[in-house]
Amino acid sequence: MRTGVCYFPEHWPRERWETDVEQMAEAGLEYVRMAEFSWAVLEPERGEFDVEWLDEAIELIGDHGMQAVLCTPTATPPKWLVDERPEIRQEEPDGTVREHGSRRHYCFNSAAYREETERIVTKLTERYADNPHVAGWQTDNEFGCHRTVRCYCDDCAAAFREWLAEKYGSIEALNEAWGNTFWSQRYTSFEEVDPPGPTPAEHHPSRLLDYARFSSDSVVDYNRLQVDLLNEANPDWFVTHNFMGRFPTLDAYAVSEDLDLVSWDSYPTGFVQDRLEGEPTSDQLRAGDPDQLGIDHDLYRAALDRPFWVMEQQPGDVNWPPHCPQPGEGAMRLWAHHATAHGADAVLYFRWRRCLEGQEQYHAGLRKQDGSPDRGYHDASQAGAELAAIEDADHVDAPVALLFDYDNLWALDEQPHAPDFDYWSLLDAFYGALRARGVQVDVVHPKTDLAGYDAVVAPALHLVTDGLANRLTDYVETGGELLFGPRTGVKDEYNKLRPAPQPGPLADLVGASVDQHESVPAHLETRVRRADGDETYGFRTWAEWLEADAATPLLEYDTGGVEAGRTAVVENDVREGTVVYCGVWPDADLADALVRPLLERADVPYCDRLPEGLRVGERGDYTWVTNFSSDRFGLDPDADVEWLLGDAAVGAYDVAIADGRIVDGLSVERLE
Amino acid sequence: MRTGVCYFPEHWPRERWETDVEQMAEAGLEYVRMAEFSWAVLEPERGEFDVEWLDEAIELIGDHGMQAVLCTPTATPPKWLVDERPEIRQEEPDGTVREHGSRRHYCFNSAAYREETERIVTKLTERYADNPHVAGWQTDNEFGCHRTVRCYCDDCAAAFREWLAEKYGSIEALNEAWGNTFWSQRYTSFEEVDPPGPTPAEHHPSRLLDYARFSSDSVVDYNRLQVDLLNEANPDWFVTHNFMGRFPTLDAYAVSEDLDLVSWDSYPTGFVQDRLEGEPTSDQLRAGDPDQLGIDHDLYRAALDRPFWVMEQQPGDVNWPPHCPQPGEGAMRLWAHHATAHGADAVLYFRWRRCLEGQEQYHAGLRKQDGSPDRGYHDASQAGAELAAIEDADHVDAPVALLFDYDNLWALDEQPHAPDFDYWSLLDAFYGALRARGVQVDVVHPKTDLAGYDAVVAPALHLVTDGLANRLTDYVETGGELLFGPRTGVKDEYNKLRPAPQPGPLADLVGASVDQHESVPAHLETRVRRADGDETYGFRTWAEWLEADAATPLLEYDTGGVEAGRTAVVENDVREGTVVYCGVWPDADLADALVRPLLERADVPYCDRLPEGLRVGERGDYTWVTNFSSDRFGLDPDADVEWLLGDAAVGAYDVAIADGRIVDGLSVERLE
Amino acid sequence: MRTGVCYFPEHWPRERWETDVEQMAEAGLEYVRMAEFSWAVLEPERGEFDVEWLDEAIELIGDHGMQAVLCTPTATPPKWLVDERPEIRQEEPDGTVREHGSRRHYCFNSAAYREETERIVTKLTERYADNPHVAGWQTDNEFGCHRTVRCYCDDCAAAFREWLAEKYGSIEALNEAWGNTFWSQRYTSFEEVDPPGPTPAEHHPSRLLDYARFSSDSVVDYNRLQVDLLNEANPDWFVTHNFMGRFPTLDAYAVSEDLDLVSWDSYPTGFVQDRLEGEPTSDQLRAGDPDQLGIDHDLYRAALDRPFWVMEQQPGDVNWPPHCPQPGEGAMRLWAHHATAHGADAVLYFRWRRCLEGQEQYHAGLRKQDGSPDRGYHDASQAGAELAAIEDADHVDAPVALLFDYDNLWALDEQPHAPDFDYWSLLDAFYGALRARGVQVDVVHPKTDLAGYDAVVAPALHLVTDGLANRLTDYVETGGELLFGPRTGVKDEYNKLRPAPQPGPLADLVGASVDQHESVPAHLETRVRRADGDETYGFRTWAEWLEADAATPLLEYDTGGVEAGRTAVVENDVREGTVVYCGVWPDADLADALVRPLLERADVPYCDRLPEGLRVGERGDYTWVTNFSSDRFGLDPDADVEWLLGDAAVGAYDVAIADGRIVDGLSVERLE
Ligand SMILES: [Mg+2]
Ligand SMILES: [Mg+2]
Ligand SMILES: [Mg+2]
Ligand SMILES: [Zn+2]
Ligand SMILES: [Zn+2]
Ligand SMILES: [Zn+2]
C-alpha cells in the first residue's frame, strides 16, 4: 500500500534536488524510480562513465527515508553507440531501418547489443550491489513499445531459423506441423525459412504465429540476460519490468517467469481513446474505464499470482492520446485506490515534474514545469495517506478465472475474419459482466492450475491441445463451472484446423458441435431468444450454429434469416459440473444472463448489477468502492458496514472503503 | 450444363481419395480440377519429380466417369526455386521485393521464370498428353490477383523499353504520341524511359496508360507461352484460364484470344463487399448481386462469343471479404442456375473440402473439414440434377451490346477526376437498367463487329479513334440504336486530348458537343428535367453541358446553380438510326428513362421494370427466373407458360425455369 | 490594376501564335508569363540550346504592346540531366528516391543541381538581359509543391550538419539548446546528427523544428542563387517567385526578402476542398472562400509591405481538387476584383489554353482546347476592363496586424496535441472575425515593427523569446491594443518548455498565467460564460484554465465538468493599452465578442457583422464589395456613396466598387 514516483534528476540542476526530494517525502512517497533512459548521461562516450550524479541522488533519497528503484538504461542506446554498431538497429519487414532519434531502436536478437547490454548493466550492478537504498531494478522500459517486439533484420532471421530448428528438429516436421503443402510452401531446409516479409497476398497463419512466438521469446531471452546479471550481483533486490496496458505482441506471462515482481504502466484516459472499442464517453475521457484497467491489473497480478505494482500511474494530462482532457477532480487518487483494490502493493506516479525538453513536454508530472505542485501532487498525497492508513491487505483471492493467452491473441489477430473482431473486446464482454456483479477475477493462462477456482470463463479459446481439453474436462467433472465463448476449439497449437468439427477436442465436454460459423456486419439482424422463453438478447460480429448432442439448447437465433431457429448457446451437465458454450459474441445483457447463473451454480457471492463506472473490489477483509463516473451513487449493503474511508454515498470520481466484504447482496442506486 | 469441383488430393491421405471421388460422383459432378499450386509437391527438389499421386488421382476420377481439368502450378514457385533464382520476384514501384510466402510472387517478364515455366509445363504435358481422362488445362491461376499484373523490376524496365520501341519505332514518335513537351518530359532515347516509380507529383497519363497496356500484354505473352506448350502437346484438350470478377488490370479480351474456353471465378457475397459501391444490403450479403455477377458472366461469355465456365463457384462462407455471413438457403444452387442462364456450360465449385492448413482455412468447401457434407454439397447436388434435366440450351444471343474496354478503364482509373468516379459503377448504371427490363446483354470490346446488335450502349467511351468513330457512325446510319454515356470522345488512343471539343470525332454523329464538364460532390443539387415536360430525374458525380447542333435536347439541368437550363441529354436521328448522348451519370430512374425508348426504337422485347434482386434470363428456348432476394415474387407472363422447374411464385433465393421465352410483356409483383 | 496570362507557346504550332497573342491583347491582358517547365525544349540535349522559339514569342508579345514575364525552367530538369547526375534527386526519409516523371524532383542542397541551375539561368539571362519586352522573372515554380521542401538525402544531411554547426557553434550548445538529455539523445559531434529518418517513436521536437527551419533555409539559399544571377544580369527587371496558398513548409517571409515582388497562385474552388476544415458549402464549391483567400493575399502583401501579384489565377474548372465543379457565373471576374481589393497590382490567369497533353489536361484555360474562348476568357476580359477603369489605388493600409509565423506553424504541426488542432484554422477564427467587421488586416511576422498598427491579434504565439515579449509589452504600454489566442507563450525559440508557467515571458503583460491546458473532443461540453453576465459562447478543441493576477476575468467555463467556473479569458489594462488573453479556440460568436471591443478600444472603424461570403475591402479611396455567395445583398452605408461599378444591390458572385471608404457604420441585408 505504497506510493512512489519516477524522477529524472539528470534533467534538473543539482541544487534543486534537495527541494524535490523533500517534497516527495512530504507527499508520503516511498519509492523513487530513476536512471531510465539515462545511458548517454551515464556513459557520455564509450568507456567514460559518469555515475556520481546517480550516487548522489540515491543518497539523497535514502537520507529522506525513501528507497530507489533503478532502471537499466537499455531502452535508449546513445547515438555514439548506434553509429559504432549500426547493426543493432531494428528493421521493418520491407528492410527500412529504425534509426536513432526516439527510443527502442535496437534489435532483441542483436549479438552486438547483447554485448553492450551486458557491459552497461554490469557497470551499474557493480556500482550499486551494496547500496542499501536501492530496493530493486526495472529492466529496460516497456519492452515492445512503439511496435518493436517484431524485427525483421538478418540477426532475427538467423535466430528464427535456430528457434525453429530447436522446436521442430527437422524441416519435415515443420512442414507437417505448419501444413506447408498449401500453396507450395514446403521448405527443403531451415535455411529457406525467412521472417515474414512483403508478399503479394497474406502469409501462412502457422508461419505468422511462430514468428509472433519467436519474437516474444526473443524479448524473454533478452530480459533474462539482464535479470541474470542483476540477480547475480545482488539476490536480495527485486527485479521487475514495467509492462504496458492491453499490449498485444509480448507474452507477459512468459517474461514474468524470470521476474520477482510484475509491474505495469497505467494511463486510464489515454487507453480509452487508443485501445478501447468505440468513442469514449465523457466519463471515460475524465477517468478512464475501470474494467479496461481492471483486466490488466488482474492479468499482471495473476502472472505471478502475487501483488503487483503500477510502475507508472498517469499523473494528470498526458501527451500521446488523440485528445488530452484534464482528468476529473480526484481521478489520480481514484486510480491508486482502484489499483490497490485489484492487488497492487505500490503505485508510482510518472513523472515527478513536467519535463522542459524532448518528446514529453506535453506530459504532466506531479509538479508543474516551474516545480510547483500540480493537480496530481495533491491527489497522490491524499491517496498515499489514505492507503497508508489501511492495514496491509491480503493478496486478492479471486473465485473466478478468465482464460487469456497470447497464442490465441496472435492467432485471432492474424485471422480476425471480421474487421470488428478484436480478442480483447470479446474478453471485455465477459470480464465486464463478472465485474458488474462485483466478482474478483484472475486473468490467467490456460495452463494455470484451475483447481482453486469456483468458475472459469474462456472466451475464444481458439487453439486447444488435447492436453488442455483433458484438463478442462477434469475441471468440470470434478465440480468446476465453465463458460466458453465463441471461436473456441477451432485449431491445434500450430494454428491448423483440426479435422474434427469445432470445438474439436472439447466437443464431448460441450456436448455439442459447431455446424457453421459466420461473421456479420452490424446491419444484419443479430438477436437470440431463450429456447424456453421469450426473452431476447443482442449479439454482434460472430455467430456459430450449434448442433446439440448431449447438451441442452439454451438460446436460439431469432432473426428472419438463414440462421433462424438454430442453436446459439448450449448447456451441458458433466458429472459434478456444468459447461455452457456460447456461440455468439454477447452484448452486455446476454453476458450477464450467462454469468449470473454461472455464479449461482459456482456458489460465488455477487451483487446486483452495478452501474457503468461504479466498481467494487474485495481484497482481504476490505471492500473498495471506486466511482469512475461523474454521477453520485448510494450503496445499500446487506448488512451494517464500517466505512474506513468515505461512506455509502460515493460522489463523482470518489472512493469508499468498507471494513469487510460487502459484495454479497449489495445493491446500488444513482443519487440525484 | 455441367457441374464440377476443385480438388486437392495432395492435402489428404491416399486412403481417403476413393471416398471423396465417390461422393463427387454421387453429387453428379462431372469435372474435377486439380494440381493448382502443387509445384512443391510435383517437384520437391529441383529435378526430382513426384507425379504418381496425380496419375492416381486422375485415374480414380476417370474410373468414376468424371474428367480431370488440370492446372499448371506456376502461380506458386517453391521456395527452393525462388532462392536459386531470386530475380524472378516482382518489385513494387519503390523497389520493395515481393517475397515467397503467399502466391503470385513471380514477374511475368522474368526470362528465368519463363524458363522454369517451360520446364514444369513440359514435364506435365509430356506426362498427360495421352491421358484420356484429362479434358483440358487451366493456365496458372487468376493472373494478376493480389495486384500482381504490374511489376517494376529491371526485367520489366527492359521489356517495357522494347515494347515501346516496337510500338513507336522512334523516340521522337513516342514523344509526340504521348505529348512529352509538358513539364519537360521529352526523352532522347528509349533507354531513358523507366517504369513509373515514386515521383513527387502524379505521372504523365500517357505514360501510365502505356505501362498499363504493357503490363497486361506481358501477361498475355506469358499465358501464350503456356498455351503454346499445351496445344503442341495435345491439340484436343481445351486450354482455359480462370479470370476474376470485376478485375481491373488485365485485358481479359486479349488473353482470351489464345484460349479455347474462357472461365472465371465467382464469389457473390464477397464481391458485394469488396468491389461494389456502397454498403451491401442484407440480401446482397446473403446472395450477392445478380447484376454484378451478370456483367462479368456477359463479359467473359462475349470474350470468345462462346459458352463460358465458372471455374470457381463460391461454395458457402469464404475467408477473404470483410465479413463472412452464411449465404442464404439455396444460394449456392441459385448461383449455378444464374450462371447457366447467362451462358455458362459448366459450374465448378471451389473447393471440395475445407482445408486444414494454410491461408484458406476459413474458406468453406462442399464438404466440411471432417469430410461430411457442407451446405454447398446439397445445393450443388440439386443444381447439378436440375441442370442435367434441361436439354442443352443454345448459346445466349443478346440483342444489345454494352461497350467496355480496358484502355478506357485504365485511362479513367488514372484520372477519375472525382473520388466517386468509378468506371465499373457507371457501367452498372446502364447495364442494370437493361437487365431490369429482362434484356440480355453482350459486354463487348468496342472493336467488336456490332452489326448483329439491335442496340448498343457505350458509357464513358473515353478514348475514341477516328476508325471507331466511323464504325459507330456506320452502325447508326444503317439502323443501329446507340446510347452514349458521359465522358465519351474525350481523348485519342494515346490518352491525349484532341483539339476538337468533346465528343471529338463523334461530334457529327451526336449532333452536339460538350461546352463544359464538371464533377460534383453529392451535396450539390443534381437534377435534370425533360426539355418537353415536367418529369425530373437524379444524377450524380458527373455533368456535361451540351450544345446541341443537329440534335434535339431531351433533358436539361434543373438546379438553382450555374448549369441551370443547360442541356444534359440530346437525341439525334441519323439516317436509319438514332443516337442519344447522355452527359450525366444517371440514377436508376433516368437510366430506365433512356433505356426503355432505346429498346422500343430497336424493337427489342422487354418486360416491366423488375424488382431489385429478381432477374430474368433468356437462353435458347428457356427462360430462367432467379431471385437473389429474400422476398417472394409472383410472375405474370403475357402468355401461358410451362414451368420446367418451379412455378410462377418464386421464393427467396429460388429459381424457376420456363420452357420458352417469357420476357416480352412480363410483369412481376411482390407476394406477402 | 493589370491582368495577364500564362502561355506555353511551345505546346502549339508556330502558326497559331499570332492568333493567340492577338486574342490576349483583345482581352486587355498586359503580361504574358512564359518558359515555365521548358528546360527540355530550351536544351533538348546537353549543351544544345534551342531558344529561338522563345525569342520569337517574346517579340510577338512585345509587338502587341504586352510584356513578357519569364520563368526559370528549374522545376523540371529533363531526363537526360537526371540520368547524367542522378544524385540531384530528392529522397524520402526511408531512402526512397523521387524519380523523374512529374516535376520538382531535385534536391535544393544538391551541389550538382546548383551547378546545372547556374548554367541554364545564365544561358537565359545572357539571352534576354537587354530584351525590352521582358519585364521580369519568376524563379522556378511553386517551391515546395508536392511536399518537396524537405529532403533526406546525403547532400541534405551534410548541409544540415553545417547549418547546425553554424547556428550552434559547438555540439554542447546544441545539446543544451535542444535539451538532449531526454531519452539519451545527446550527441558527441555534429557528425552524429542526421536528418530525422524512420524511428520507432516520434522525433525530438527541437530536432524537428530545426530540420524544418534548415529545409526552408535551403530553399531560401537556392532561390537566392537564382535571384543573384538575375539581378546581376539586369538590375531593372523585377524578380519574383510564385508562392502557394496556405503552404506549410516554406517560410515565405524569408524567401521574399530576396525578391522585388511577391506573387502567389490562387485556386479558390480547389483550396476550399483540400486545405480548409470541414465540408465545403455549395457557395464555396462555386466561388471559394473569401477569407481563406484573403488571409493569403494579406500575408503575401505584408511580406514586403508592397502590392503583390496573383501569378496564377484559377481560370475555370481545375484538375487537382477532389471534385471539380464549374465556378459560379462571374467567379473568375470576382476573384480578380477581390485580389485587387486586398492589394494586388496584377492578376495573371493560368493558363491561356487547355493543354492537350500531360498531367493537366483536365485543367481549364482562358481558351478551350480548340482555341475558342472559355468561360474564363469572358470573365478575365471584363475584369481587365473594369480594373483598368479604376485609377491606381494606393497600397492597402491595414490598421490591424495578425501575427503569423512559420516557426509557430512548424512547432504546432509537430505537436498539435489534438487531431483537430490546426494552426491555420485557429488563425482563420480570428481573421474571419476581423474581416466580418470589414477591417483590413496585415498578416505579419512577429518581428515586424508594430508601431503603426492600431491593434494586434496573436493567436497561438507558441514560441516567444524575451525580446518579443518586451516588444509586445512596449506596444501595449504605448497604447497598443493586443489580443492573444490560446497556446501563446508556451515555449522558447528552441521549442523547449520554459520553466515559468505559460505564457512565460508574457505573464506580466497578460496579468495572468495558465494553471492547466487541455485538448477536448467535440462531444465534451465546451461553453464559456461572461464573468459579469449571462451570455454564453462556444469554443472547441483547446482550453486553458487561467489564473488571473493583475488581470480581470472576462469569461469563465460554463460546463458541468472539472473546468467549471475557472477562468477562460482575461483582460488587463497596461498603461496606455489593453491586452486580452483568450485561453480557448473561439467559435465565430466568441471571436466577434472579442474582436469588436478590441476595434472599439483601438478606434478602428468597422461595420455591422457581414454575412458569410460577403466581404468588403478598403484600398486607398475605394471600397470593393465582393459577394462570394449565391445570395443577393443590399448594402446600407452610413452616407451617400458614388458607385464606380455596380450599386448597393450586389448579386450572386458579383462586385461593386464605391468611390470612398464606406465600412464605418455599413450594414447589409439579404435580399429576396
Ligand atoms: Mg485464488
Ligand atoms: Mg449475338
Ligand atoms: Mg500599414
Ligand atoms: Zn532484428
Ligand atoms: Zn518484373
Ligand atoms: Zn536532399
Dihedrals φ, ψ of A525, to 5°? -70, 135
Which of B94, B182, B524 comes nearest C358 by C-beta? B182
Which 431-470 residues of chain C touch chain B by CB within 8 A? none
Please report all neighbours of C, defined by 3+ CB atom pairs within 8 A: A, B
| pLDDT value at residue B561 | 85
Which residues neighbour A241 within 8 Å (Cβ) at sequence distance 6 or greater? A138, A139, A140, A143, A223, A255, A259, A262, A263
Task: Give the N- to C-terminal CA distance of chain C in Å, as an integer.
Answer: 33
Which 55-74 residues of chain C touch chain B by CB within 8 A? 73
Amino acid at C151: C
| pLDDT value at residue A481 | 98
CB-based contact C182 A371, cutoff 8 Å: no
Task: Identify the CA nearest to B435 among candidates B599, B641, B242.
Answer: B599
Among A391-400, B374-383, B477-486, C623-632, the minimum mean pLDDT is found in A391-400
Cross-strand pairs, B349:
B5, B313
Amino acid at A228: D
Q: Which residues surround ligand 3, an ion (CB under 5 A)?
A: C 397, 452
Which 340-359 residues of chain C touch chain B by CB within 8 A? 354-359
B53 touches A: beta carbon within 8 Å: no
d(CA A69, CA A219): 22
d(CA A154, CA B56): 43
Q: Which H/E stretch holds residue B474?
A: helix B466-477
Contact present, C440 and C399 (Cβ < 8 Å): yes
Task: Give the N- to C-terminal CA distance of chain A in Å, as an integer.
Answer: 33
Which residues neighbour B640 within 8 Å (Cβ) at sequence distance 6 or greater? none
* pLDDT tens digit sequence for C281-327: 999 999 999 999 999 999 999 999 999 999 999 999 999 999 999 99
Cα(C165) to ligand 6 centroid in Å equals 18
Q: What's the average model confidence in pLDDT over A251-260?
A: 98
Q: Nearest C-alpha of chain B: how many angstroms from A198?
A: 5
- Annotated catalytic residue: which of C36, C43, C91, C142? C142
For cell 483536365, name the residue. C362
| 3-state SS, residue C114 | helix
Cα(C447) to ligand 3 centroid in Å equals 15
Cα(A605) to ligand 1 centroid in Å equals 15
Residue B236 has a CB neighbour count (10 Å cut-off) of 10
Q: Pairing mode, if any, of strands B622-627 and B614-619?
A: antiparallel
Residue C123 has a CB neighbour count (10 Å cut-off) of 15
How far is CA A409 from its chain centroid? 12
Q: How far is CA A259 from CA A3, A224, A347, A394, B339, in A?
A: 21, 9, 18, 21, 63
Cross-strand pairs, C517:
C544
Q: Nearest C-alpha of chain B: how many angstroms from C665?
A: 33
CB-based contact A104 C201, cutoff 8 Å: yes
Q: How far is CA A433 from CA A590, A601, C589, in A?
A: 9, 16, 46
d(CA C401, CA C445): 9
Chain C hits for A149, Cβ within 8 Å: none
C326 touches B: beta carbon within 8 Å: yes
For the CA atoms of A253, A258, A262, A266, the dihedral, rounded to the nearest 10 degrees, stands at: -70
Contact present, A594 and A627 (Cβ < 8 Å): no
Please provide the DSSP assignment of B162-231 as one string: HHHHHHHSSHHHHHHHHTTTGGG---SSGGG-------SSPPPHHHHHHHHHHHHHHHHHHHHHHHHHHH
Q: Is the pLDDT of residue B391 over 80?
A: no
d(CA B29, CA B349): 9
CB-based contact C11 B419, cutoff 8 Å: no
Cα(B387) to ligand 1 centroid in Å equals 64
Q: Which residues surround ligand 6, an ion (CB under 5 A)?
A: C 107, 109, 151, 153, 155-156
d(CA B77, CA B114): 12
| pLDDT value at residue C1 | 78
pLDDT band at B560 (very low <50, low <70, confident <90, very high): confident
Q: Is the pLDDT of residue A364 over 80?
A: yes
Which of B198, B501, B519 comes nearest C370 by C-beta? B501
Q: Which H/E stretch holds residue C441?
A: strand C441-444
Q: Nearest C-alpha of chain B: how many angstroms from C370?
A: 5
Cis-peptide into A280, omega within 30 deg: no
Residue C420 has a CB neighbour count (10 Å cut-off) of 17
pLDDT band at A560 (very low <50, low <70, confident <90, very high): confident
Nearest CA in chain C to B172: C44
Signed CA dihedral, B641, B647, B652, B657: sign only: negative
| pLDDT value at residue C9 | 98
d(CA A100, CA A89): 8
d(CA C651, CA C631): 7
Dihedrals φ, ψ of B169, to 5°? 80, -55
* pLDDT tens digit sequence for A215-230: 999 999 999 999 999 9
Cα(B389) to ligand 2 centroid in Å equals 25
Mean pLDDT by 10 residues, chain C (672 residues): 96 98 98 98 98 98 98 98 98 97 98 98 98 98 98 98 98 98 98 98 98 98 98 98 98 98 98 96 98 98 98 98 98 98 98 98 98 98 95 90 98 97 98 98 98 97 98 98 98 97 98 98 94 96 98 96 95 98 98 98 98 97 97 96 97 97 97 90
Which of C182, C197, C563 comes nearest A357 by C-beta? C182
How far is CA C429 from its chain centroid? 16
pLDDT band at A209 (very low <50, low <70, confident <90, very high): very high
Q: How far is CA C290 from CA C276, C314, C362, in A?
A: 12, 14, 25
Alpha helical stretches, state H, B343-420: 375-389, 406-414
Dihedrals φ, ψ of B373, to 5°? -65, 135
Amino acid at B650: V
Q: What's the average model confidence in pLDDT over B112-120?
A: 98
* Class of residue C228 by CB neighbours under 10 A (exposed 0-12, middle 13-18, buried 19+): middle
A648 touches B: beta carbon within 8 Å: no
Mean pLDDT of chain B: 97
- Annotated catalytic residue: which of B142, B414, B481, B563? B142
Cα(C445) to ligand 3 centroid in Å equals 13
Task: Identify the CA nearest to B579 among candidates B489, B650, B476.
Answer: B476
d(CA A98, CA C102): 29
Q: Nearest C-alpha of chain C: how many angstroms from B215?
A: 18
Signed CA dihedral, B516, B518, B523, B529: sign only: positive
In chain A, count H helices and then E strands: 19, 26
Cα(B306) to ligand 2 centroid in Å equals 10
Nearest CA in chain C to A107: C200
Structural domains in chain A plus CATH codes: 2-146+239-389 (3.20.20.80), 400-602 (3.40.50.880), 614-671 (2.60.40.1180)
Complex-level ipTM beyond the 0.95 threshold: yes
Q: Nearest C-alpha of chain B: how many angstroms from C210?
A: 23
Q: Select the residue from B207, B498, B562, B566 to test the C interface by mutation, using most C Cβ atoms within 10 A.
A: B562
| pLDDT value at residue C391 | 76
Which residues neighbour A160 within 8 Å (Cβ) at sequence distance 6 or greater? A193, A194, A195, A211, A214
Q: Is the pLDDT of residue A79 over 80?
A: yes
Question: Residue A633 half-sphere exposure, CB side, CA atoms within 13 Å?
Answer: 25
Cross-strand pairs, B455:
B400, B481
Which residues neighbour A332 within 8 Å (Cβ) at sequence distance 6 or greater? A313, A314, A315, A316, A349, A375, A376, A379, A380, A383
Q: What's the average model confidence in pLDDT over B568-594?
A: 98
Helices C423-435/C406-414 angle, 10° precision: 130
Contact present, B513 and B523 (Cβ < 8 Å): no
Please report all neighbours of A, defined by 3+ CB atom pairs within 8 A: B, C
C175 touches A: beta carbon within 8 Å: no
Nearest CA in chain A to C415: A362
- Annotated catalytic residue: which of C30, C43, C312, C481? C312
Q: Select the residue from A106, A273, A323, A375 to test the C interface by mutation, using most C Cβ atoms within 10 A.
A: A323
* pLDDT tens digit sequence for A375-407: 999 999 999 999 999 877 899 999 999 999 999
d(CA B301, CA A67): 81
Among A128-137, A391-400, A430-439, the minimum mean pLDDT is found in A391-400
d(CA C648, CA C655): 10
C417 touches A: beta carbon within 8 Å: yes
* pLDDT tens digit sequence for B45-97: 999 999 999 999 999 999 999 999 999 999 999 999 999 999 999 999 999 99
Q: What's the average model confidence in pLDDT over B150-172?
A: 98
Contact present, B53 and B10 (Cβ < 8 Å): yes
* Percent of chain A residues topping a pLDDT of 70: 100
Signed CA dihedral, B416, B422, B424, B430: sign only: negative
pLDDT band at B212 (very low <50, low <70, confident <90, very high): very high
Please provide the DSSP assignment of A73-138 as one string: -TTS--HHHHHH-GGGS-B-TTSPBPPSSSS--S-TT-HHHHHHHHHHHHHHHHHHTT-TTEEEEE
| 3-state SS, residue A229 | helix
Q: Nearest C-alpha of chain C: how many angstroms from B78?
A: 30
| pLDDT value at residue B392 | 78
| pLDDT value at residue A42 | 98
Nearest CA in chain B to A196: B101
pLDDT band at A630 (very low <50, low <70, confident <90, very high): very high
